[in-house]
Structure 1
Amino acid sequence: MKTLGAFSLILSSAAYAWQPSQEPPTLPLKSFTLPEGLEVTAWAKSPMLYNPTNMDVDQYGRIWVTEGVNYRKVAERRPDGDRIVILEDTDGDGTADKSSVFWQDPELVSPLGIAVFDNVVMVSQPPNLLKLTDKNRDGKFNEADGDIREVFLTGFNGLNHDHSLHSVTAGPDGKWVFNQGNTGAMFTDKSGGTFKLGGSYVDERISKYFADVRAIAGQKSSDGFAYNSGAAFRLNPDGTGTEVIGHGFRNSYEQITNSFGFVFQNDNDDPPACRVTHMIEHGNAGFFSRDGKRMWRADMRPGQDVPTAEWRQEDPGTMPSGDVYGGGSPTGVAFYENGALGDDFIGTLLSCEPGRNVVFSYQPELSGAGFKLERHDFVTTNPQKDFDGSDFVGGTKKDPATLVNGEDIYQFRPSDIAVGTDGAIYMADWTDHRVGGHATLDEAASGVIYRIAPKGFSPVTPVMDVNTIEGALTALKSPAHNVRWLGFEKLKKAEDGAFTAVLELLKNENPYIAARAIWLLPYFGGKGRAELDALFTKDDENIRLAAFRALRRCDGKIDPLSYAKELATDASAAIRAEAALEMRYRNFDEAKEVLIAVAESYDGKDRSYLESLGLGAGLNSEQLWQALHSKMKPGEPTEWSDPFSRLTWRLLPQAAVSALAERAGSEKLSEEQRNLAVDSLAFINCHAAAEALIALAKQDSPVHEKAVWWLNNRVSGEWAFMDLRRVLQERGILRENAGIQPIAVPEKPASLKFTVDDVLALEGDADRGAELSARCLMCHLVDDKGTDYGPSLKGFGQRQPADVLARSIIDPSFDISHGFEGHIIDVKSVGEVHGLIISDGDVVKIRSTGGITQNIPKRQIRTSKALDRSLMLSADQLGLSAQDVADLVEWLKNY
């Protein structure tokens, strides 16, 4: 829950008696706003299910739900453990009439993911990704009956934590994809590959950790690359062949792969910067520094806004941030390709946003190597956007008197979304008034599954016997993505017997259904390859792209290298970028021709294209730059083209240091070109780059301040290994306090002199409030004055009800904004330093009241622990009266 202060309640695991509600607070259906011609109905509700965290659809049209009754501070309210339930509409009337428990066990503690593949059920339950096999297919998991529980993978942090292990989803290639939030992990797959997902985010106050993410931050995984926590993985269904297909997330709740092979996901924010994104294969989302040891705030550059800084959009090596829409708490995603909703909805990406009471929709449009993502409200109970109960608006439930027309329309909390085998869309609703903040207000733990379908819809789930070609084809054409996997697997193994049927599917008028056939062609020998080759002559770049991806993912049956060499000069930027990505794990002699060809076609603008090239270069970026310099002959450093300068910025070659230094210091170039050269130097981890910046910092030039800033940032950041502090100090560049100063936040008052109600009873004066805002400058920015320490005040009051504004000033310790939790560092021989830890390594950087930032060597730290109160002083401590607070509230409403 976000307030002007910086604080989050520390929640206990106190148990109490809990009785499930028989009358869940379902919403009036007229509360929903959705597209013309569609209607929403309550398909299932408590007591058939409780607190739905995730769901999946099986081939029979049943919906499987994981429950989170034992969520956080109420982790013991159901002693027998959480459950997986199966919901059915047995009479086909459009509502569920049967609920059965597949498994209940103390091991289940708010699991966040479920995937059903026939009689195999994958459950995401930290520290394990579990594989449950219902051997006798009776819909009840019981090891005494011969059912099998297997720890498929283990080592995932975040027991009963939202930023943990999420659901498995099947791709059109037959691979499985899942992700882990930024609590991090270290696991070994079944082919022996070990993956280390480290970072600086640790919250063991509310969750158990199984791997030391700080210790493994920056360490390489078995594939030779270092990845940050918050990552997505693709692997074979037998647990082998794992690849990291994206990392550096904050907390992506789910990902979806459409039938052309594009991966989409949403991601949570720190302060308001939630987003929906196309995920470039292997891309870094940017939440942490490259070595994982610093959160974004530690590296926020002067003048950057929060979305740019949080997702490091001006750093080389990060993928485009997609649609950044502000505060929220994104959850499940789905991609609608076919079904009951009609042609207008084909190709729709759906993203749940419970913090905003909405499911967003997008029709992703390929643009260069990336996507345009134009957001719409697909279904919402809150079209007026009067938000309530979410972190970014203060978290508390509104008083009933403030509700629209006396109706409580604020509780729609879509935790997941899926397309059913009947072609309708199903939404799981958590129903709680609170979202985020590690809290829940609904003691009934109620839940609802809503269905969206055309008016008058009659549901029909096709009968499919996947052991037959016809049944497998029916499964492959299913609107439900994990059901499609069953058809793919059967047809892949059917060999010649399925070839004719697959060719017929390739002619389907729905492009997504037709695309599903493409991925099977490599498994049909020479004739399948011939059909695949024919697809590369098609005008549609999506078809050519899917064909190449099918080659890349066909278990080594065909080497894609010769195809990549041809496609490196394709007319489509997306296909050229894909050719580059295929080079990632190859030696440079193999990859050289493709990478150079792709680089030569770079237009200097397409960020997705450039990032794909950099990711494809992999560990060969130095060699690639030198080869490009030789081939492209860019001329003298001051004559480089913008595309070549950007290529250098992304590839970060040590061989370019002297040239970049010349560009940065040249008066022939624009300030923008010189700044780019400085930024490029700052990301090259070698002494020569540091020396170049030191020389630039001593010059009187437009890049002087930028060079100084980077050196002060890097001295305790990624260049800490160089031990530059003494050199910078001697040359007058180091901007640090001389010696560590103790700074403590006073204890909060034992009692308050006035209440929120006292303030709300007064009439506020906005002009006087503006004058009083000077007291905020020690911690907040106000009209470019003050300190960038606490949350931004700009727009804050416009998003919050008056009672939340008043409480955040009167008692800021009531709740704390995520990302602004304080710490106490006890420094030997100095005392306590209170503040925000903004980087944690051999040197801990902490920012305290007034924006004072200190670097404290870890060897001097006796203890470090969470602060039990806000870093912001209360109204009493600031000497504010009730009238003063009323005036500040009035000013904040329009600031």
Structure 2
Amino acid sequence: MKQIAAVATLALLCGLASAQDKPKKTGAPSPEDSVKAMKVHEGLEATFWAGEPGLINPTSMDIDERGRIWCCESMNYRGSKMRPEGDRIVIMEDTDHDGKADSYKVFYQDKAIIGPLGITVIGNKVYLAQSPKMLVFTIDDSGDKPVGPPEVLFDGFTGVNHDHGLHSMMFGPDGRLYFNSGNDGANGARVMNGKGEPVIDSTGSEVGGKGTKWRGGPRGGAGQHYTNGMAFRCNPDGTGFETLGFNFRNNYEVCSDSFGTAWQSDNDDDGNQGVRINYVMEGGNFGYVGFYKDSSWGRDQGAYPGQSRQEAHFHQRDPGVVPNLLNTGGGSPTGILAYEGELPGLNGKLIHCDAGPNVVRIYTPTAAEAGYKCESVDLVKSSDRWFRPADVCVGLQGEIYIADWTDPGVGGHATGDKDPATISGRIYRIAPPGFKPDAPKLDLSTVKGQIDALLSPNLARRFLGYQKLVAGGADATKALEEVFKSGKTDQHRARALWLLARGADGQKVVKEALKDKSTDIRVAALRAARLIKMDMIEIAKELVADPSMAIARELCLALNYESTGKCLDLLVALGDRVQPQNSYEGVANKDWAQQEAKRQEAYVPKWYLEAFGIACTNREKEVLEAWQKNGKNKDPKVAEAIAWRLNRVIPEPPAPPPKKDK
């Protein structure tokens, strides 16, 4: 990584605690009135935790292992140049455990920091997402300021000072960092590493819409280049770069659960009620623009009579497009997380902010063959139109914190709160009534303490536990084996599995995990097998007839990285698992909930068809011919589906009527 040449301006604000006792008047409702306007999920309550003047316009936040909240602010977003000295990274802490921040410190401020969209704090590193760069700070021994200027992890993203640019990183259970970029950040990009070299992902493709290589060869036409928003993962040092998906619009943040399943939201073209939640099926095209000539959804909507605008918006009926998990209507989707804590009824759910309708939601994905269905309820719904949730994070005790941008409007890059004298920003806490904030002891000197950290609901602690245990010896292995055997939840078991897979007996552990009674654990085991570079051809031979469609899906995604000569027979066998596709007629419905339920049901068979199609990328013709010759499934509807997918049979929309002479 290279260092930025400019010397940073550092500031340390120690006197803000007293200012917080008497909050200044703002254009927004008072924090107390904002809390009163919130309707909170049963068994939980909202409380005000931090705000102006110590915190202004938070775009992203993270919570470190001490329970301190780090926010990147944006007073200089787009045309709102309200802070000439540059935007800031602020650290907040509740030192007396009374439920409110009483310490506000500026970690970093510089004129080069303009509208950052993502912050991640793990170990002694702070990752700051600000197109065109992903920056990395090293925290000094005080814990309150950087050692020096940031280093550059990645460069070359576009979307500078644009909310469709580069977004925050999030630690995953496999030890890697997950992040994404909206379409304005990726479309014009040719991403470089810190040495100025083009980033080549695990498929042999250059990353970004301007990349010149595709799967080891030159960039090609339709289906042979990346386009629009993209999702990624890599090691903390930037190596091992992988592209998870592409052709999103403005995918704001991506998270991973403990099984290694990636989830995110994606925004629509404003006003089309098409905001969506995605299960990010690895290697998938997610359909914002059309396959041929990157055509717009508006042009292509007429290709399928009767489809809803929301389907058309992301080319959902086209072959080669991964289905949406959930349509949520209109909005401005922002931060998301996979909750794995002990708040009542929330374990295993996704928690997601949508600033447009002033809501934070709970999503419940449930397995449906090779894909998912999903339902939604509100965690927090506010009647305060200034409540604009931008991010959500989990504290040390499993409590949830919401960063509130705080503005009378969103959309179109607009900022209505522009008066430097009254501008605001808030953080709220969601916890059970009577919650007593504390910082559970963190002892990384013992294996027990390391296991406790790994099992924490807080990602920063989880990272520290992971780092210690992955370098541990026999005692660490024994403790991890016990967690895998009898962990409290399958999420805990999966976290232990990822670490055991990296150990001396990793392949043996993974082989045993592939026989587990839990499908989630078996899916994680397949992903761990790929991570430690086990022989996926041999594993696929053993599992190709496994009754679980989720396992069949994962085999398809794994074979995407194998040579045709090694896996053609396996692809033929996996093609036999394809199911006839449903008719999508009648999905459109005036009742939103009914329309969405019918849409999810109609698309269930398409999840596996798309996984199979991903496995056949760049070899569609060869696989189709082999399957037609040697496939054992003689259902004509299956043959029709496979040919439709591999030939990318996409109808032309009707021609527009001729213009009338004046």
| TM-score strictly above 0.5 | yes
* Greater mean deviation of Cα atoms: 595-604 or 167-176: 595-604
Gap change, CA 1:642 and 1:434, over 3 Å in 2: same
Tell me, yes or no, if structure 1 residue 484 matches structure 2 residue 462.
Answer: yes
Aligned to 2:325: 322
**1:314 partner SS:** coil
**Structure that is richer in helix per residue:** 1
Q: CA deviation at 1:102?
A: 0.5
1:281 aligned partner: 282
Q: Give 1:283-682 correspondences, 5 Å limit.
A: 283-290=284-291, 293-302=294-303, 303=305, 304-339=307-342, 341-342=343-344, 344-382=345-383, 409-443=384-418, 444-466=422-444, 468-506=446-484, 507-526=486-505, 528-554=506-532, 556=533, 558-605=534-581, 606-632=605-631, 641-652=636-647, 680-682=648-650
**Which residue of 1 is the match for residue 71 of structure 2?**
65
Q: Is the 8 A contact 2:93 2:104 kept in 1?
A: yes
Q: C-alpha distance in 2, partners of 1:115/1:412?
A: 23
Asked if structure 1 preserves the Cα contact closer than 8 Å seen for 2:75 and 2:87, the reply is: yes
Deviations 1:216-264, CA, capped at 9 Å, x for gaps: 3897375875111200111111211211101111101101100011111
CA 187–449 in structure 1, closer or farther in 2 if over 3 Å, else same: same
Structure 1 residues 445, 590: closer, same or farther in 2, change over 3 A? farther
2:334 corresponds to which letter in structure 1? T
**1:276–1:218 CA distance, 2 compared to 1 (3 A):** farther
2 CA distance for matches of 1:190 and 1:141? Answer: 19
Q: Deviations over 1:39-72 (max 9, x none)?
A: 1100111112100100011111111101011121
1:592/1:356 CA distance change after superposition, 3 Å: same
Q: Displacement, 1:291?
A: 5.7
Change (3 A) 1:331 1:222: farther
2-structure distance, mates of 1:255, 1:268: 13
Residue by residue, what CA displacement relative to the aligned partner does 1:141-186 show, whole Å, maximum 9, x if unpaired? Answer: 252xxxx521110011111111000000111111111111001221
Residue 52 of structure 2 is matched in structure 1 by 46
- The 1-side partners of 2:65 and 2:463 are apart by 10
> Offset at 1:538?
2.0
Q: Is the 8 A contact 2:190 2:198 kept in 1?
A: no
Q: Distance in 1 between matches of 2:464 and 2:292?
A: 39
Residue identity matched to 1:127: P
Percent of aligned pairs with the same amino acid: 38
Superposition pairs of residues 107-122 of structure 1, within 5 angstroms:
107-122=112-127
Do the aligned residues in 2 keep the contact of 1:112 with 1:124 (CA within 8 Å)? Answer: yes
Helix, strand or coil: the match of 1:565? helix
AA aligned opposite 1:579: L
The separation in 1 between residues aligned to 2:198 and 2:557, in whole angstroms, is: 20
CA contact (8 A) 1:174 1:236 kept: yes
Q: Distance in 1 between matches of 2:167 and 2:292?
A: 24
For 1:647 and 1:475, the matched residues in 2 are separated by 46
Distance 2:98 2:346 in 1: 24
Partner of 1:470, secondary structure, is helix
Contact 2:40–2:380 (CA<8 Å) still a contact in 1? yes
Distance in 1 (alpha carbons) for counterparts of 2:216 and 2:248 = 20
1:788-846 CA distances to partner (integer Å, 9 max, x unpaired)?
Answer: xxxxxxxxxxxxxxxxxxxxxxxxxxxxxxxxxxxxxxxxxxxxxxxxxxxxxxxxxxx
**Residue 390 of structure 1 corresponds to which residue in structure 2?**
none
For residues 565 and 23 of structure 1, the distance between their equivalents in structure 2, rounded to whole angstroms, comes to 67
Query: Following TM superposition, by how much is the alpha carbon of 1:30 offset from its aligned partner in structure 2, in angstroms?
Result: 2.4
Task: Tell me the CA shift for residue 106 of structure 1.
Answer: 0.8
**Which residue type is aligned with residue 72 of structure 2?**
T
SS at match of 1:328: coil
1:549 CA drift (Å): 1.0
Asked if structure 2 preserves the Cα contact closer than 8 Å seen for 1:122 and 1:168, the reply is yes
Contact 2:208 2:227 in 1 (8 A): no
* Closer, same or farther: CA 495–624 of 1 in aligned 2, 3 Å: farther
Query: Equivalent residue for 2:214?
Result: 220
User: CA distance change for structure 1 residues 445 and 369 in 2, over 3 Å: closer, same or farther?
Assistant: farther
Counterpart residue type for residue 643 of structure 1: V
Determine if contact 2:49/2:427 at 8 Å carries over to the other structure.
Answer: yes
Distance 1:221 1:602, change over 3 A: closer
Cα distance in 1, alignment partners of residues 41 and 448 from structure 2: 34
User: In the aligned structure 2, how far is the partner of 1:190 from the partner of 1:150?
Assistant: 8
**Equivalence for 1:187:** 191
Q: Does 1:141 align with 2:146?
A: yes
Q: Is the 8 A contact 2:61 2:118 kept in 1?
A: yes
Deviation at 1:559, TM superposition (A): 2.9
CA offset at residue 560 of structure 1?
2.9
> What does residue 152 of structure 1 align with?
153
Corresponding residue SS for 2:183: coil
Name the CA distance, whole Å, in 2 between partners of 1:345 and 1:30.
23
CA distances 1:634-667 after superposition (whole Å, capped 9, x unpaired):
78xxxx6111111111111xxxxxxxxxxxxxxx
Q: Distance in 2 between matches of 1:644 and 1:585?
A: 24
Aligned equivalent of 2:38, options 10, 32, 39: 32
Deviation at 1:269, TM superposition (A): 0.6
| Structure 2 residue ranges without an equivalent (≥5) | 1-19, 202-206, 219-223, 582-604
Contact 1:29 1:41 survives alignment (8 Å):
yes
Question: Alpha carbons of 1:49 and 1:374: their partners in 2 closer, same or farther (altered >3 Å)?
Answer: same
Are the equivalent residues in 2 in contact too, given 1:568–1:580 (CA < 8 A)? no
> Aligned to 1:575, what secondary structure does the other structure show?
helix
Q: TM-score, normalised by structure 1?
A: 0.63
State how far apart, in whole Å, the 1-side matches of 2:241 and 2:156 are.
Answer: 15
Distance in structure 2 (CA, Å) of the matches to 1:419 and 1:441 = 29
Shift in Å at residue 212 of structure 1? 10
Query: SS where residue 42 of structure 1 aligns?
Result: strand
**Distance in 2 separating the partners of 1:585 and 1:223:** 15
**1:594-629, CA deviations, whole angstroms, 9 ceiling, x for partnerless residues?**
322221122224111111111112222221111100
CA contact (8 A) 2:122 2:460 kept: yes
- What TM-score comes out, normalization by structure 2 length? 0.85
Check whether the contact 2:199–2:241 (CA below 8 A) recurs between aligned residues: no
1:579 deviates by 0.5
Higher-Rg member (1/2): 1
Could you tell which deviates more after superposition, 53-62 or 235-244?
235-244
Distance in 2, Cα, partners of 1:634 & 1:168 = 43
Count of matched residue pairs: 593
Q: Deviations over 1:555-601 (max 9, x none)?
A: x3x33332122222211101111011101121112122332222112
Question: Deviation at 1:547?
Answer: 1.1
| Structure 1: distance between partners of 2:151 and 2:544 | 43
The AA in structure 1 aligned to 2:615 is: G
Shift of 1:137: 4.1
Q: Give, in whole Å, the separation in 2 of the partners of 1:294 and 1:490.
A: 49
Moved more, 344-353 or 300-309: 300-309
CA distance in 1, matches of 2:216, 2:73: 35
Query: Secondary structure at the residue paired with 1:64?
Result: strand
For the 8 Å contact 1:50–1:447, the answer to whether it is kept is: yes
Distance 2:483 2:49 in 1: 32
Flag the 1:309–1:368 CA change in 2: closer, same or farther, 3 A.
Answer: same
CA contact (8 A) 1:300 1:309 kept: yes
